[in-house]
Amino acid sequence: QDQAWHWEGLRERELRIQRFVDDGTLVHPPVTANPGTQSTDYDWIVASGRGSLYSYTVPRHPQVPAFDYPLIVGLVELEEGVRMVTNIVGATPEQLEIGMPLEVCWLDSHDDVTLHQFRPAAPGRRAGTLTHHEVAVGDRLPLCPIEITTRLVVSTALATRDHQDVHHDRDAAVAKGTSDIFMNILTSTGLAARWIGDWAGDGVVFEGLSLGLGVPNHPGDTMTMSGSVAGVDGDTVTVSFTGANSLGAHMAGSARIVLPGGHDGPDTHDGEVG
């Protein structure tokens, strides 16, 4: 069966799903005939690329050179109702939850071959603002993948008036011992604050944010933000967070924020974890 349309779609960053024209049945992977009617007439639709994690496994052995480990193989249920087997990237096995929202991303494995993968879906900004009565120690913030591009690294360095050549000039960065330009700490701080602010909402007030840097953020990589509520003391909430890429932890730190009360009742989640 000719499946060129599927592979051409991947090269064009489209997730094409086979549709049988007689009754609209969607099928993946492509098949020769409609499983219900045996009709062979089909076309295809372009899926939204959004879905949820239906199940997953972490193969351990045997390991082959073509894959990075730990390798997460997931069954993703698309918004359109079709399920597909794919690699899950941008998260560790411990961070996965059944039903979590996912979005498609792309792997150019060869000059003319592009493969689909899925990663945690980037969360939107909260409508309204969390109150401190709605959070408790241990609450997890949504995972947030951030693509590291040359434009992001250079433009944010300029925006923060950081003209060190290692953030702008690849040759200069390589001459100083790194593989490419890399993100500056002010950008890392801003990305962490934006992510926490998106989770908390417009009414959040930052009292402090501190972080330490680890491995660099180079263009072509993806950093995934993760974190949880580490303490609640009245209306003050402490969030611990990490931003990790393919090399390891790029940053780790904590933020202290103030959330509105929402009602006049007593606080029910007071306390601090060490």
Residue 226's pLDDT is 97
2/182: higher pLDDT: 182
Residue 24 has pLDDT above 90, yes or no: yes
Question: What distance in Å separates the CA atoms of residue 222 and residue 204, rounded to the nearest whole number?
Answer: 27
Across residues 209-236, what is the average pLDDT?
A: 96
Residue 271 has pLDDT above 50, yes or no: no
Residue 267's pLDDT is 41
Percent helix, percent strand, percent coil in the chain, to nearest 5? 20, 35, 45
Residue 68's pLDDT is 80
pLDDT band at 268 (very low <50, low <70, confident <90, very high): very low
Residue 258 has pLDDT above 90, yes or no: yes
Residue 209's pLDDT is 97
**Residue 145 to residues 90, 107, 171, 210, 262: CA-CA distances in angstroms?**
7, 15, 28, 20, 30
> What is the tens place of the pLDDT at every residue in 89-118?
999 999 999 999 999 999 988 778 999 999
For Cα atoms 144, 147, 149, give the angle at the middle one, nearest 5 degrees: 155
Residue 265's pLDDT is 42
> What is the tens place of the pLDDT at every residue in 129-179?
999 999 999 999 999 999 999 999 999 999 999 999 999 999 999 999 999
> What is the tens place of the pLDDT at every residue in 122-137?
999 999 999 999 999 9
- CA nearest to 219, candidates 269, 268, 170, 272: 170
Task: Determine the angle formed by the axes of helices 185-200 and 150-159, rounding to 10 degrees.
Answer: 100
Residue 67's pLDDT is 79
Mean pLDDT, the chain, as a whole number?
92
What domains are defined for the chain? Answer: 4-120 (2.40.50.840), 132-272 (3.10.129.10)
266/109: higher pLDDT: 109
Q: Which residue in this structure is represented by tokens 């949880």?
A: 228
pLDDT band at 269 (very low <50, low <70, confident <90, very high): very low
Task: Supply the pTM of this predicted model.
Answer: 0.83
